[in-house]
């Protein structure tokens, strides 16, 4: 008889894992700001055991605990709202506009949270119920005091910093901010990775037909539609190169449940689902062809006035050349033989179409296409 554990939990979807990881950055920033506020507050009050503005009892341990823990919680909520919902609402806006509007939105959210937190703190310190007159009166005095205004100004500053960190992390790429911060690739590392090069079919003729400005908007929409399939397949966007996008996985993660293949078919499905929009808006339905390969790369930080984490190794050149063969074999997806052997890609069916000696390579490379 099959026994089901009471403590077994369903596995989180990779997209939600990504959201939680990104939200953690907000939680850390807010927790630090809460801790700093608690220290500053103690420095200002000195030996006082009450708040002069409200005559409410003050206790350093509970104050800094509430400020740090409360900051961490509100930061996590802020992060989840940002990465799971609000970020997508401002993708077409300028950076300054996004920061200003979203800061005002979150500031209103923070005011409500601070009032709730103040009520809880007063209730604890005064040993009274949340709705008692003495607790409500204390919160009311706090709300109309200069102390409350100073807290809001401090929170607004924290929001701006958190939003800047958030935007910077999107510019650097998923996970790259933490890699830079922790110095993971300050010393070059060797890694086994899977790479997928996706390139838009007939991109030159499409650009000439619709004009380069409109073509750029087409690319931006395509890459936006690819976001969820990439997250769902636990992929990392390595580079955008013109109309080409390079996606990467650590070897085990890319192979797990066929993530690297699911990513391609998820992208194709997302673009097809929006075919009516693309046809109406741009006059074409974009199709991307892909080459996928695996191998060892060296990963590390490079640059002085502009730093970047890059991958170097033969696998990248080979993957690009495999992708370049899609047209020759009338295939939208080509795998290297080494990757096909490693994946054993059930339930997808592939057939070997060539054993090519690619330009610049000593050994030939087997190519597999969808049946």
The pLDDT of residue 14 is 65
pLDDT digits (tens, 9 = 90+) for 170-196: 666 666 666 666 666 778 889 999 999
- What pTM was estimated for this model as a whole? 0.69
Cα 328 to Cα 155: distance, rounded to the nearest angstrom: 58
DSSP three-state, residue 303: coil
Angle 275-282/259-273 helices, nearest 10 degrees?
50
Q: Give the torsion sign (CA, 60, 71, 236, 231).
A: positive
User: How confident is the model at residue 289, as a pLDDT?
Assistant: 94
Question: Maximum distance among all alpha carbons in the chain?
Answer: 83
Selected residue with higher pLDDT from 289 and 80? 289
Residue with tokens 């990757």: 339
For the chain, domains (ranges, CATH) are: 14-172 (no CATH), 184-370 (3.30.70.1230)
- Tell me whether the omega of the peptide bond preceding residue 87 falls within 30 degrees of 0, making it cis: no
Report how far residue 371's alpha carbon sits from residue 361's, in angstroms, rounded to the nearest whole number.
27
Q: How far apart are CA 261 and CA 91, in angstroms?
A: 27
Which tens digits make up the pLDDT trace of 103-139? 788 888 778 877 887 888 778 777 788 888 888 887 8
pLDDT in tens, 215-230: 999 999 999 899 889 9
């Amino acid at each position: 008889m099959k026994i089901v554990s009471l403590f077994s939990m369903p596995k989180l979807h990779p997209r939600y894992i990504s959201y939680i990881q990104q939200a953690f950055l907000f939680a850390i920033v807010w927790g630090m700001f809460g801790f700093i506020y608690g220290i500053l507050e103690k420095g200002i009050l000195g030996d006082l055991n009450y708040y002069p503005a409200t005559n409410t009892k003050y206790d350093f341990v509970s104050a800094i605990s509430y400020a740090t823990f409360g900051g961490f919680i509100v930061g996590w909520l802020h992060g989840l709202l940002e990465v799971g919902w609000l970020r997508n609402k401002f993708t077409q806006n300028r950076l300054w506009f996004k920061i200003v509007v979203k800061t005002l939105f979150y500031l209103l959210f923070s005011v409500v949270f601070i009032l709730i937190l103040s009520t809880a703190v007063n209730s604890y310190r005064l040993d009274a119920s949340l709705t008692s007159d003495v607790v409500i009166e204390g919160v009311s005095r706090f709300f109309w005091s200069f102390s409350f205004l100073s807290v809001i100004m401090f929170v607004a500053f924290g929001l701006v910093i958190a939003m800047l960190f958030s935007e910077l992390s999107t510019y650097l790429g998923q996970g790259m901010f933490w890699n830079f911060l922790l110095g993971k690739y300050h010393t070059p590392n060797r890694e086994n990775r899977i790479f997928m090069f996706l390139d838009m079919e007939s991109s030159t003729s499409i650009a000439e037909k619709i004009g380069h400005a409109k073509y750029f908007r087409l690319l931006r929409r395509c890459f936006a539609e690819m976001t969820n399939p990439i997250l769902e397949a636990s992929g990392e966007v390595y580079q955008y190169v013109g109309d080409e996008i390079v996606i990467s996985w650590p070897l085990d993660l890319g192979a797990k449940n066929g993530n690297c293949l699911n990513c391609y078919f998820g992208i194709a499905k997302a673009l097809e689902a929006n075919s009516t929009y693309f046809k109406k808006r741009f006059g074409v339905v974009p199709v991307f062809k892909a080459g996928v390969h695996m191998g060892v790369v060296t990963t590390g930080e490079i640059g002085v006035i502009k730093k970047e984490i890059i991958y170097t190794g033969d696998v990248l050149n080979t993957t690009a050349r495999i992708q370049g063969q899609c047209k020759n074999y009338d295939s939208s997806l080509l795998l290297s033989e080494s990757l096909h052997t490693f994946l054993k890609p059930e339930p997808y069916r592939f057939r070997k179409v060539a054993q090519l000696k690619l330009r610049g390579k000593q050994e030939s490379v087997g190519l597999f296409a969808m049946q």
